[in-house]
Chain A
């Protein structure tokens, strides 16, 4: 794809031999950005599974031990509740561990979890560098920057999403707002925030990993214990991003999903206004 540098001069390049009709496509995602995007899945999964096992060793959130169960950890309470109320789980061997057995490597595995967490954290940082390099080389970072019209346009998008179910019910057309940009303002704020959250996860991770040698970094996040809270909730921000992200990609269709694998999209018409 060496001709990309030419495209500033020629809005339409041609790779069609002879007079055969070609398919009009637009570049969407630079190669390194696509790689780092998909690599995030196994890496973040490893970080979360091992991270929750590390959390188990000393939960951030605790309450007074319950007189009945002896539990002081809300995650253990949830496990106890699930095993008490879900049919088929009444015989579960260790109800307080139910949640940890399902969203982590398991309880009582701190050493194994730490080693896996360091490995995945190293890979996550390297992958972050791949993303930065890809964004710089492909110029995609410009599409992520917030801009002045974002607030107004985000409102239009909100109104659109609110109206979608109603328009489906009443079978009336409800048009997607048009923007002359790669992403709509809600996408943009999400795609801008997620790398920031990733960066903050790395920084809070270092603040927790080296609270003495990097004590200035730990101090930025309000000290060791607060840095743990930050690190914990940054995980939830990443998880809570993924859920609507996957739903909306599937709703948007094959072209959007494919473009993150192959890099191009046939939806060239969105940018006609350029």
Chain B
């Protein structure tokens, strides 16, 4: 931007601080070249005023940041650090953090595409899959009596199906996909089962239905106490071609540790949505409750 004309102009006006100090500005060699510093002469009072303003702003922001930290940190943490005693309940804190979760779920839903397939692997890439039942593993005695109940279907009836019927009615599909747990581990496993979409086609839900509530009544708590597990699943995910109602793991029928005889495999969801030992599917218009969402986790869990 500097022209010769302006150079002469500034040189001819010696009222700037001192012409001996200043060096004629050099034109930068390229767009990327570092520019010379911008020196200026400021009256001391003005500089003091700027400094006071900026330090006050800095100090009040620091206080605000500490307050925000105290407000946002979990109670357990603050109690351990000795900042608070007893139970303090800040409903607004829950509101803000839950709001963040909702925004995050909305982003996940916007990213989801029914046509986007998840990566598949070869059988040589299979990794061990641990039994991650949160409570005790159920006693396998439920398996011979097991039936799948469907509610909220278009016929208005409640349907009860046994595993033999499901295996002969639907075509089995195989896939080697990754299961990702909210805890941070993942495993590549070889699943076989029928597509959720095929079940939806055979027993269509009511026209208003947008959600499935999937339940396992045989789930147990940590001390072996009955603790039904339930997840919400949006029907868009249920229609995904890689969302299976799995009956086999690694070429063998599911064992009790992995949810015999029927479990959900939705690779586009975190592992906690991949409910084991499904006993009931209910189609609903509104979003149903979710076991882990009630415990402070995301509701959508799209990955």
Contact = CB atoms under 8 A, between A and B. Distances in A.
B303 interface: yes
A189 interface: no
A8 B2 CA distance: 7
A111 B268 contact: no
B54 A58 contact: no
A24 B101 contact: no
Interface in B70-120: 72-74, 76-77, 80, 96-98, 100-101, 103-104, 108, 111-113, 116, 118-119
Interface stretch (A14-22, A82-90, A167-175, A234-242): A14-22
Contacts, number: 208
Contact of B116 (A10, A25, A213): A213
Given A14-B41, A142-B33, A262-B54, A55 B10 contact: no
B16 A14 contact: yes
Interface residues of A, number: 71
A28 to B, nearest CB: 8
A23 B2 contact: no
B42 interface: yes
Interface of B: 1-2, 6, 10, 15-17, 21-23, 25-26, 32-44, 46-47, 50-51, 54-55, 58, 61-62, 65, 68-69, 72-74, 76-77, 80, 96-98, 100-101, 103-104, 108, 111-113, 116, 118-119, 178, 180-186, 267-268, 292, 295-298, 302-303
Interface of A: 3-4, 7-17, 20, 22-28, 38, 41-42, 45-46, 49, 54-55, 57-58, 60, 101, 105-106, 109-112, 114-116, 118-119, 122, 139, 142-143, 145, 181-182, 209-215, 219, 224-225, 228, 258, 261-264, 268, 271-272, 274
9 contacts: A20-B43, A27-B37, A28-B37, A45-B69, A111-B292, A115-B101, A182-B34, A211-B186, A213-B108
B47 to A, nearest CB: 5
Contact of A101 (B6, B80, B268): B80
B175 to A, nearest CB: 13
B39 A25 contact: yes
A142 B184 contact: no
A261 B23 contact: no
Contacts of A109: 74, 76-77
Given A15-B46, A58-B181, A122-B103, A24 B41 contact: yes
B34 A224 contact: no
B268 A212 contact: yes
Contact of B118 (A15, A101, A215): A215
Contacts of B46: 15
Q: Which 9 A-B pairs have the closest CB atoms?
A: A111-B296, A22-B41, A58-B184, A57-B183, A274-B36, A112-B74, A7-B38, A213-B111, A26-B37
Give the residue among B51, B77, B113, B118 with the most A Cβ atoms within 10 A: B77
A54 B58 contact: no
B109 to A, nearest CB: 10
Contacts of B21: 12, 272
Given A13-B16, A119-B96, A262-B55, 19 more contacts: A4-B38, A8-B25, A11-B23, A11-B39, A12-B40, A24-B17, A42-B69, A46-B72, A106-B77, A110-B183, A114-B297, A115-B101, A116-B73, A142-B32, A181-B34, A212-B303, A213-B268, A262-B54, A274-B37
Nearest to B55: A261
Contacts of B62: 38
A218 B24 CA distance: 52
A152 B12 CA distance: 40
B112 to A, nearest CB: 6
Contacts of A274: 23, 26, 36-37
B100 A118 contact: yes
Contacts of B58: 38, 261
A182 B37 contact: yes
Contacts of B295: 111
A120 B216 CA distance: 35
Contacts of B96: 119
A26 B39 contact: yes
B74 A23 contact: no
A213 B296 CA distance: 23
B40 A15 contact: yes
A9 B6 contact: yes
Contacts of B32: 142, 145
B41 A215 contact: no
Contacts of B22: 11-12
Contacts of A106: 74, 76-77, 80
Given A118-B104, A263-B54, A211 B303 contact: yes
Nearest to A18: B43
A189 B36 CA distance: 20
A119 to B, nearest CB: 4
